Amino acid sequence: MTLTREQKLELYYYMRLTRSLEERLVNLYRQTKVIGGLFRSLGQEADAVGAAYALDKSKGDILSPLIRNLGSMLVRGATPVEVIRQYMAKGDSPTKGKELNIHFGNIERGFIGQISHLGDMVPVMAGVTLTFKMRREDRVGLVYVGDGATSTGAFHEGINFAAVQRCPLVVVVENNGYAYSTPTTRQTAAAAFIDKAIGYGIPGERADGNDVLAVYDVTKRAVDRARRGEGVTLIELMTYRRKGHAEHDNQSYVPPGEIERWERDNDPITRYIDVLRNAERVSADEFAAIDARVQQEVDEATDLAEQSPMPEPQEALREVYADPPEIAPLWFRGDVRSAVTEHERPSSWGTYDG
Ligand SMILES: Cc1ncc(C[n+]2csc(CCOP(=O)(O)OP(=O)(O)O)c2C)c(N)n1
Ligand SMILES: [Mg+2]
């Protein structure tokens, strides 16, 4: 399937939105309005957006993002106001202050909440896609991992299990050169991460991660294979992390000139603007209209999020367990238990007094 001009412009919109939203979050972070860390995907927007775009919303495909995949959640319908509220731990954020940054999910919109432990989403998505297969559903799953995550046991066990079971799963390794301060050369002795695919008996494909159309194409091929029942594909996207692990990291371990080189020669948005100008004859006015729309959406989302209340203390106990326990456990006594008023306490908790 080739993308229409409209879809190609939509890819530009999502990359722009990802970047502008993160820039706004930096602003809020510096005003100390963000709770916790701030994780950027500067220079990697094409990976998250291009790969997510290759999934089919109408079929119920599901992806699992990591901290550098905000763009994939936006493609799946996460809204800027949800993201800003979540970063600010507001009471009306998706997790109502119980989680931070982009740690939230929404099954209906096709993205699931991430586990921080590197690699752990691979076995989770192996399970999700095994379910698709057992129920004979025409659905595909996609899991993003970083180069660092490939060194974990969970990555190995998850991808091996999914390969053996021929689960409809796409594993995207975002090779951005670093895992915190560890360069890729210290992460693996393999020449390329896709070489690992041989060991699992699955196809591996590498693509330029800063070329959004190449990312879309390679992922679409893998999604199609998965949907045809041909199992797992390992994709390696070559990109570069232009910011530190998080906003607090000053990247003192990065060789001089490296970041500047990637910014100057290989920015995914700048490169894509050239492609759209030349191949699709997109005019300056068309770009300006999309940029203005993005700006307005980010501004409106910021205003709304700033007005949002902080969570009520009792919110800490809600939506943590699927069901309230039949008998309140010991730790619901004392201060913590009294955070829930008698009125709000479900009757099923009983009157356990310890
Ligand atoms: C098992 C485990 N070890 C360590 C960490 C701490 N940690 C969080 S992110 C990160 C680096 C991740 O690098 P990579 O997988 O390359 O992803 P990137 O940040 O480059 O996108 C580390 C070490 C963790 N979350 N889980
Ligand atoms: Mg990395």
| Structure confidence at residue 325 (pLDDT) | 54
Centre of ligand 1 from the C-alpha of residue 255, in Å = 20
- Would you tell me how many other CB atoms lie within 10 Å of the CB of residue 190? 13
| Average of per-residue pLDDT across 166-173 | 98
- Report which ligand 1 atom has the smallest distance to the Cα of 117: 26
Across residues 274-287, what is the average pLDDT? 98
> pLDDT tens digits, residue range 14-68?
999 999 999 999 999 999 999 999 999 999 999 999 999 999 999 999 999 999 9
Which-ligand-closest: CA of 154? 1
Q: How far is the CA of 43 from the centre of ligand 2 (A)?
A: 13
Is residue 118 pLDDT above 70, yes or no? Answer: yes
Taking the C-alpha atoms of residue 252 and residue 240, their distance in angstroms, rounded to an integer, is 16
248, pLDDT greater than 50: yes
For atom 21 of ligand 1, the residue with the nearest CA is: 146
Confidence at residue 317, expressed as pLDDT on a 0 to 100 scale: 80
Residue 176 CB less than 6 A away from ligand 1: yes
Flag whether pLDDT at 259 surpasses 90.
Answer: yes
Lowest mean pLDDT among 7-16, 121-130, 236-245, 309-318: 309-318
Pocket test for ligand 1, best of 45, 103, 117, 180 (most atoms within 8 A of CB): 180
Alpha-carbon torsion angle 175, 177, 179, 181, nearest 10: 180
Atom of ligand 1 nearest to the CA of 149: 15
Q: Which residues in 1-40 are b (16+ Cβ under 10 Å) and which e?
A: eebeeeebbbbbbbbbbbbbbbebbeebbeeebbeeebbb
Average pLDDT over residues 182-186: 96
Indicate the pairing of strand 182-183 with strand 178-179: antiparallel
Note the pLDDT of residue 320. Answer: 82
pLDDT at 318: 82
**Global pTM?**
0.91
> Which of 69, 118, 122, 240, when mutated, tests ligand 1's pocket best, judged by the most ligand atoms within 8 Å of its CB?
118
User: Which pLDDT band holds residue 78 (cuts at 50, 70, 90)?
Assistant: very high
What confidence score (pLDDT) does residue 348 get?
Answer: 54
Q: What is the distance between the alpha carbons of residues 93 and 305, in angstroms, rounded to a whole number?
A: 9
Distance from C-alpha of 162 to C-alpha of 158, rounded to nearest angstrom? 6
**Predicted pLDDT of residue 347:** 55
Point out the ligand 1 atom lying closest to the alpha carbon of residue 145: 15
Percent of the chain residues past pLDDT 70, beyond the cut: 90
Q: Is the pLDDT of residue 327 over 90?
A: no
For residue 326, the CA-to-ligand 2 centroid distance in Å is 44
pLDDT interval class at 319 (50, 70, 90): confident
152 lines ligand 1 (CB under 6 A): yes
**Does the Cβ of 149 fall within 6 Å of ligand 1?**
yes
